[in-house]
Amino acid sequence: MGKMNSFQVSIAYWTLKSFIAFMQALPSAAALWVGRRMGDAARVFNPKGRAKVLSNLRIAFGATHSADEIKRIEKDFFTSYGQNLVEVARLPLIARRGYKETVDVVGHECLGEIMSRGKGCIFLSMHSGNWELSNVVGSMSGYPYNMVANPLDNADRAVDLLNALRQSAGCRIINPGIGGREIIRCLKRNEIVTLVADQGGSEGVVVPFFGKGSSMSTGAVRLALKYGVPILVVNICRVKGGKHLLTVRPFNVVSMGNDEEDIKKALTSMAGIYEEWIRKTPAEYLWLYKTWKCSMERTVVVLDDGRTGHLRQSESVAGALVDEMTLRGMQAKSHTCRVEFRSPFHAKLLTLMPNLLTLFGVRGFEDLRSFLTEESYARLFALKPDHVVSTGSLVSAVNDRYAAFSQARSIVVMRPGNVPLAHFSCVVMPKHDALKVEQTRQVVCVEAAPNLINEDYLRRNAEALRGRFPSLQQLKDGCIGVLIGGDTKGVVMSERQMRTVVLQLKEMAVKEGKNLLVTTSRRTPILVEKMIEEELKSFDHTGLLILAGKNNVPEAVGGILGLSGLVVVSGESVSMVSEAASSGKPTLVFGIEGDDQTCAENKYTRFVKGLAEAGFLVSSFSEDLADNAGKILRGDVKTRVLNDSETIKQALRKIVQ
């Protein structure tokens, strides 16, 4: 934020002073009512703040609370936060009347014994509840009381006014610039010093807090280890009737001779105590604070639209993200969430809406509840991703809204339908898909679809396939792998053409003395799959026949690629063609023909043609498959390995956070 000029400082000062005077003039109940309305207004008119609160609550409670429960906590947080602001303005009144009208204290009886030791005492709290009231209690405990107050940039007069409120109850303010030395002096004078634990920043120690690393301040524990200063952990929460409950608990720091390990162990235990308190009154914690900003843990969420090819592409990008974050010392994990719409109509409607909504700047996630099933919405809400990955246009609008809501980076593979490219952090787009797309900093062009193929992947899947089908152990290496897709948008696979393909496969198997390893897909038409079964089930050179309509084998494609010396693929499957061309195995692709026995010009034929011209595969008509296979196996025609992984990694490095 830029430096405030004198006029702006004056406006801030007099606005705050007027607010304080007004709140002190109102009866307590009326002032708290105003505070609740202020909290409601902040919730409505501060969408970024609300998003931050929801994001933090999902990290803390996503695994244990429903979406509705988390939203209730978020609403209650803003209500309580507004009341806290009002009570800060009324600190002088509360101090004059005595804190007992406002705050009940549990555990205060230990303070006298601790102060009798003559080493002073540290009150250690978190930003939970109205911690300013805990300062009032400390100030009125009968012992000299000090607090370290962080200044607000460019608003000195306003800060002075806030500190005056704190001092009205007898609290002495310590400037952080001289805090270390002054804190020690205060403790040596047997005084109380209050510190806050949950703002460790880059100098703190990261310990588990609600299951994720959070930086905790080390100052209190270091003083306890070095000078034997006793620590009281304190927590304050709002209860009924405008009152608060302050809990005080002694905390022992044990020295085992290794300060850094002792500090981490103490802070881990301390964070557990605060977590226990916060779970009881979750709306009381300051969820506006970036609690986990120093965490090295990252979550990638893959949106699954139900299409296996799309899922494998998304998993490939997610895997590259995880690898990149791991190289940077982060602890990254990936989750796959199935996106299920209420109906095909709801899915279609959502893909059409972004054009209209973009005009109004609407990118909300909560309205997705109207389009998704309750189970799908709940699965997404429960996770707090740092990166969201999806493939295809069907779930691109979900990706866009979910990432914006989660304050996450968004990555989409292929053209994202009607959602503007600028909404995404990265768009991985095959060249055939990017022909009519304006090149922007978000768009990364690749030769083919991202995939999981590498030597280790092929080896693992081949072993898994052999384990599932022991008969494969007897086959010689260098089989002919066959990957058959099926109907897709604008393309219909005919039984007539596929019979020609099967006859060509049988011819090349006999001629070359090779076994066929064949798998269909869930898109393969029933009649085509039935014909393939009739032709190949009893064929002597059929080493493996997987009919996806009857048997789902996850390692089918990877295993077949790993066991084959030549791969034949139907050209309408961008995913399978990309995987085959990336496998290092010579790849022969046939297009899906129409009634005139020619392949219509479409994105699939353009894709195959582009890869063929670049030498990554051989394109063939159905009736020429056996001849072209012979040329490849004899070495008359050679193909090269497709590898887009480095291009994708370079793009992802720019957005890893």
**CATH no. for residue 577?**
3.40.50.2000
The amino acid occupying position 44 is: V
Q: Which residues contact 113 (CB under 8 A, 6 or more apart)?
A: none
- The residue-averaged pLDDT of 295-301 equals 96
Closest CA to 480 of 449, 507, 442, 443: 507
Predicted pLDDT at 12: 78
Nearest to 447 by CA among 585, 584, 648, 302: 648
Question: Residues 24-43: what's their mean pLDDT?
Answer: 95
400/344 same-domain check: yes
pLDDT above 80: residue 215? yes
Instruction: Compute how many other C-beta atoms are within 10 angstroms of the C-beta atom of residue 328.
Output: 12
**Amino acid 142: pLDDT:** 84
Same domain? For 263 and 317 the reply is no
Instruction: State mean pLDDT over 391-417.
Output: 93
Within-domain flag for 171: yes
Q: Is residue 644 part of a domain?
A: no
Tell which residue, 179, 149, 152, 154, has the closest CA to residue 167: 149
User: What pLDDT does residue 364 have?
Assistant: 67
Domain extent at residue 365: 297-447
Secondary structure (H, E, C), 161-200: HHHHHHHCCCEEEECHHHHHHHHHHHHHCCCEEEEECCCC
**Residue 282, token pair as written in the block:** 């979750």
User: What is the strand order of the sheet 331-338 is part of?
Assistant: 331-338, 297-304, 387-391, 409-413, 426-430, 443-446
Position 657 in a domain: no
Is residue 246 located within the same domain as residue 101? yes
Sign of CA dihedral 258, 259, 260, 264: positive
Mean pLDDT of 508-530: 95
Radius of gyration of the chain (CA): 33
Specify the pLDDT at position 436: 64
Residue 111: both structure tokens together: 């303070």
In the β-sheet with 587-590, what is the strand arrangement from edge to edge? 542-546, 516-519, 479-483, 564-570, 587-590, 618-620
Q: How far is C-alpha 75 from the chain's CA centre?
A: 23
**Dist. CA 380–CA 413, nearest whole Å:** 19
Number of domains in the chain: 3
Same domain assignment for residues 387 and 491: no
pLDDT of residue 355: 53
Residue-level pLDDT at 202: 84
In a shared domain, residues 100 and 193: yes
Of 254-258, 306-310, 349-353, 390-394, the poorest mean pLDDT is in 349-353
In a domain, 603, yes or no: yes
- 371 and 274 together in one domain: no
**Residue 415 shares a structural domain with residue 341:** yes
Residue 121 DSSP code: E
**Cα–Cα distance between 87 and 82 in angstroms, integer?**
9
Counting residues of the chain whose pLDDT is more than 90, the rounded percentage is 71
Smallest CA-to-CA distance from 55 within 280, 299, 271 is with 299
- In whole angstroms, give the CA distance from residue 648 to residue 639: 22
pLDDT, residue 160, reads 77
Based on the domain organization, do 439 and 527 belong to the same domain?
no
Q: Is the pTM of this model over 0.85?
A: yes
Question: What is the tens place of the pLDDT at every residue in 336-377?
Answer: 999 999 999 999 888 877 555 544 444 567 778 889 999 999
Answer for the pair 510, 541: CB distance below 8 angstroms, yes or no. yes
Q: What is the 3-state secondary structure (H, E, C) of 323-353?
A: HHHHHCCCEEEEEEEECCECCHHHHHHHHHH
**In a shared domain, residues 249 and 357:** no
**Residue 333 belongs to a domain with what CATH number?**
3.40.50
Shortest CA distance to 85 belongs to which of 45, 47, 148, 38? 38
Any idea how long the chain is?
A: 657
3-state secondary structure string across 633-644: HHCCCCCCCCCC
Distance of CA 152 to the CA centre of its chain: 31
Q: Which of 312-321, 384-393, 395-404, 425-434 has the lowest mean pLDDT?
A: 425-434
Rounded to an integer, what distance in angstroms lies between the CA atom of residue 556 and that of residue 309? 13
Least confident of 22-36, 320-334, 345-359, 611-625: 345-359
Q: Are 546 and 426 in the same domain?
A: no
The answer to whether 554 and 591 have CB atoms below 8 angstroms apart is: no
The answer to whether residues 246 and 137 touch, using CB atoms and an 8 Å cutoff, is: yes
- Label residue 598 left, alpha or beta by phi (over 0 means left) and psi (-120 to 50 means alpha): beta
Please check whether residue 652 lies inside any domain of the structure.
no
Q: In this predicted structure, what is the pLDDT of residue 229?
A: 95
Strand pairing report for 121-125 and 231-238: parallel
**Distances in whole angstroms, Cα of residue 50 to Cα of each of 39, 137, 594:** 11, 31, 54
> Residue 528: its pLDDT value, please?
96
Find out whether 563 and 477 touch, Cβ atoms under 8 Å: yes
Lowest pLDDT segment from 154-158, 416-420, 481-485: 154-158
Q: Does residue 66 carry a pLDDT above 50?
A: yes
pLDDT at 161: 80
Query: Is 289 within the bounds of a domain?
Result: no
β-bridge pairing 231-238 and 244-251: antiparallel
- Give the pair of three-digit tokens for residue 394: 């069907």
Taking the C-alpha atoms of residue 464 and residue 559, their distance in angstroms, rounded to an integer, is 7
Hey, CA dihedral for 7, 10, 16, 18, is it positive or negative? Answer: negative
Q: What is the pLDDT of residue 141?
A: 82
Q: Helix, strand, or coil here: 116?
A: coil
The last residue of one of the domains, among 258, 284, 310, is 284
At 4 the pLDDT is: 61
Instruction: Name the DSSP letter for residue 253.
Output: P
In this structure, the number of other CB atoms found within 10 A of the CB of residue 295 comes to: 19
Q: Is residue 290 part of a domain?
A: no
Task: Please count the helices (runs of H) and the strands (runs of E) in the chain.
Answer: 23, 21
Residues 319 and 385 in one domain: yes
The answer to whether residue 650 is domain-embedded is no
Contact between 321 and 387 under an 8 Å Cβ cutoff? The reply is yes
What average pLDDT does the segment 42-53 reach? 91
Separation between Cα atoms, residue 229 and residue 231, nearest integer Å: 7
User: H-helix or E-strand containing 235?
Assistant: strand 231-238
On whether both 369 and 460 belong to a single domain, the answer is no
| Average pLDDT of the segment spanning 479-498 | 93
